[in-house]
Structure 1
Amino acid sequence: MPTLGTIEGFFGRPYGWTERTELMRFLAPHGYSFYLYAPKADAWLRRRWREPHPAEEMEQLSTFGAACREAGVRFGVGLSPFELHFGFTADAKSALADKLAALDAAGCEWLAILFDDMRGDLADLAGRQAEIVAFASERTRASRLSVCPTYYTDDPLLDRVFGPRPASYLKDLGAALDPAIDLMWTGEEVCPREFSPGHLDRVALEMGRKPFLWDNYPVNDGPRMSRHLHLRAFTGRPAAIAPHIAGHAVNPASQATLSAIPMLTLAVSYAHGDAYAYGQAFREAALVVCGPYLAAMLAADLALLQDAGVGDLSGERRDRLRARYAAYDHPAAREVVGWLDGAYAITGEQIQTQ
């Protein structure tokens, strides 16, 4: 079993503090040993990172950190210093030092510096980012430090959106960072179908260390993906990859309770190895999360919820589906109803502005 945990790093409406705490506590006995708080909607960790968090938000963050420690889960925060590599001035350094001190005060034990979702078409990008990370590592009290590169996948989508990646970027960044610092990687695509030992070994050679997986399943935060509930068990993550990675962080779906179903199956996949059966793993995880009645409903409706999606449901079928789940008093059922009602829909504007 690799180091396994949660990275709450999706766009759209973030979890409420109660949802977040309940998911963390539920997953802890199943091998999820860390929780990185990094929702895209927390502007004070992203576009407004230079500003201090409101006092109430920081108090809630500290309370969540204490709950993590009580559950034996390492509490971490993902900080996205938006486009700081374009101007690491004295004022910017002061703002970053203040932010790190605030996160220390909140009990942050694992700091992730996230350079994703921002422009990166600079020839010396790796060097600039390494300077920022070195500055942060000298000031944070966090015992573990991770970095998400701007180009965190082979997927050419990033080059189209954020500019062409600099030549040898990943190799240069890895060479400039302390070997003890994790480098995050989502795979051959932003949302990969699978990870293979061969691919991971190639990336490790470039990084100069084993990649730390940021796994974008069951996340469903895109304008198209938010129309689907990602409930099926994990596949394409065989236990054989464990020796080839530094850790495995799961980016959950917008629905906290329903996310626990596939997340449980990943732990089962690592534990069972070649004996893993994804269909059985789904049924058993749904039973644990939802109980027998609701688990049977989800299994029966899986093709509608995950494959067809809300956009392909006729009005009559959608109404029948909604009535069935609305009659059941369980947080997972309420998440299905909210999804059918559009409560979790993600817009292109949210992707551009969060």
Structure 2
Amino acid sequence: MDVELGIIEGFYGRPWSWDERAATIAFLAPHGYGFYLYAPKVDTYLRRRWQEDHPREMADELARLAGRCAKLGVRFGIGISPFEVRDFGTAERDALGRKLAFFDAIGVQDLAILFDDMRGDVPGLADRQIQIVDWAAQHTSANRIIVCPSYYTDDPVLDRVFGQRPPGYLERLGAALDPRMEIFWTGEEVCSREYSPGHLRRVADQIRRKPFLWDNYPVNDGQRMSQFLHVRGVTGRPAAMADLVAAHGVNPALQPTLTRIPALTLVESYRRGEAYEYGQATLRAAVAVMGEELAERLYEDVLVLQDIGLDRLDDREAALRERWTGVDHPAAREIIAWLDGEYRITDEIVQTQ
């Protein structure tokens, strides 16, 4: 497997706990997941209130998590969103400088500058973002910088929600950004069903470098997607992608234990190539995460968990509760919490985080 894999915690809604983050990183590291990027939308000090310092308790937890990554040999990164900056003046520079100094102090290796999910139909969008990224590059000790464009997919949903993308926007970013910097890309859709070689090559031509994949599977952080548990093995991610991407980052599900199952199948997809079978890969990954008995039970429930939808379970809900209530495993507890509605995402959550 020649592609660099990692986790990008970039979802909306209920965040993982610090212990869940550390445990997931430790579980996936031996399987080839070599980087972790902390960028949950709920961390307002990286997004809407990015100019404010993290409270001391959060800062200490981030430092501890960075230390755990270092011990595991996992690259630690943080994503910051200079949210809808209109003028990158002295106050903005001072605020960003303080953030970068904090990141340096705790050992951030990957600095991600994220311009996603904010208004993009503004004059000079690309040039303003280039200015911010170039300034940050001069004031960070991170040895890798990754930029998320405002338009990080071909999907027209971004134009409907955030305004029409400026003509030549991606090409301008690609031409102006230092070629050593990486650029995030989610594919033909926000949540891409598959990645084709033709698409990846075309995007690479636009941005003048291989795209750094921000893969929105198994994430389930929208009002509709939170109705489902994404536990099925990956499809549409062929091993041939390895030569066409800079790296492959996975935006995980809201459920930290269950997300390990599709994460493991991605490793298998790259390693087995044309011999990959997503159904059998799902079962093998579930055994690695839950043990054989619970894995077989989960495998029997994949169709209901992933394809029916929480509000359409009807009498299936009672059957699921009977099968998973009282089972002493975090994956089982996540299934019950999902049934209880603890992972529901509303449009209000997405619009305010």
Match of 2:214 in 1: 214
| CA-CA distance at 1:180 after TM superposition | 0.4
Aligned partner letter, 1:78: G
1:346 corresponds to which residue?
345
CA distance in 1 between counterparts of 2:196 and 2:320 reads 38
Question: Which residue of structure 2 lines up, in the alignment, with residue 239 of structure 1?
Answer: 239
Alpha-carbon offset, residue 323 of structure 1: 2.6
Structure 1 match to 2:109: 109
Counterpart of 1:136? Answer: 136
2:289 is aligned with 1:289: yes
Deviations 1:81-118 (A, max 9, x none): 1012x111111111111111111112111100000011
Using the TM superposition, give the Cα deviation of residue 326 of structure 1 relative to its aligned residue in structure 2, in angstroms.
1.3
How many pairs does the alignment contain? 352
Match for residue 160 of structure 1?
160
Q: Offset of 1:327 from its aligned partner?
A: 2.4
| 2: CA distance, partners of 1:272 / 1:293 | 25
- CA–CA separation in structure 1 for the residues paired with 2:163 and 2:87: 18
Deviation readout 1:54-75 (Å, 9 max, x if unpaired): 0000000000000001011000
Q: How does 1:118-267 map to 2 (within 5 A)?
A: 118-267=118-267
**Matched residue type, 1:115:** F
- For 1:237 and 1:184, locate their aligned partners in 2 and report how far apart those are by CA, in whole Å: 17
Structure 2: distance between partners of 1:267 and 1:312: 32
Deviations 1:275-304 (A, max 9, x none): 111111111000000011111111111111
Q: SS at the partner of 1:7? A: strand
Equivalent residue, structure 2, for 1:7: 8
- 1:48 equivalent to 2:49? Answer yes
- Offset, 1:318: 1.1
Secondary structure in structure 1 of the residue aligned to 2:257? helix
CA-CA distance at 1:317 after TM superposition: 2.8
Q: Which residue identity lines up with residue 341 of structure 1 in the other structure?
A: D
Q: Sequence identity of aligned pairs in percent?
A: 59
User: Counterparts of 2:80 and 2:198 in 1: how far apart (Å)?
Assistant: 31
**Corresponding residue of 1:331:** 330
Aligned counterparts of 2:120 and 2:138: Cα–Cα separation in 1: 24
Cα distance between partner residues in 2 of 1:294 and 1:352: 37
Distance (whole Å) between structure 1 residues aligned to residue 316 and residue 27 of structure 2: 33
Counterpart position of 1:78:
79
Classify the secondary structure of the residue corresponding to 1:96.
Answer: helix
Which stretch of the first structure deviates more once superposed, 255-264 or 88-97? 88-97
Write the deviation string for residues 184-211 of structure 1: whole angstroms up to 9, x where unpaired.
0000000011001110000000001110
Matched residue SS, 2:192: coil
Q: Which string of whole-angstrom CA distances, capped at 9 and with x for unpartnered residues, describes residues 227-274 of structure 1?
A: 100011010010011111100000000000000000000011111111
SS across alignment from 1:256: coil
Runs of 4+ in 1 over 4 A off after TM superposition: none
Letter in 2 for 1:138: Q
SS of the equivalent of 1:135 reads helix
C-alpha distance in 2 between matches for 1:25 and 1:324: 29
SS of the residue corresponding to residue 264 of structure 1 reads helix
Q: Which amino acid aligns with 1:256?
A: P
3-state DSSP class of the match of 1:59? helix
- Alpha-carbon RMSD across the aligned residues, in angstroms, is 0.8
Q: For residues 1-55 of structure 1, what are the alpha-carbon distances to aligned partners after superposition, in whole Å with 9 as ceiling and x for unaligned?
A: 2111000000001100000000000000111000000000000000000000000
Map of 2:317 onto structure 1: 318
Distance 1:46 1:106 in 2: 19
Structure 2 CA distance, aligned partners of 1:317 and 1:308? 10
2:24 paired residue number: 23
- 1:257 partner SS: coil
1:98 aligns with 2:98: yes
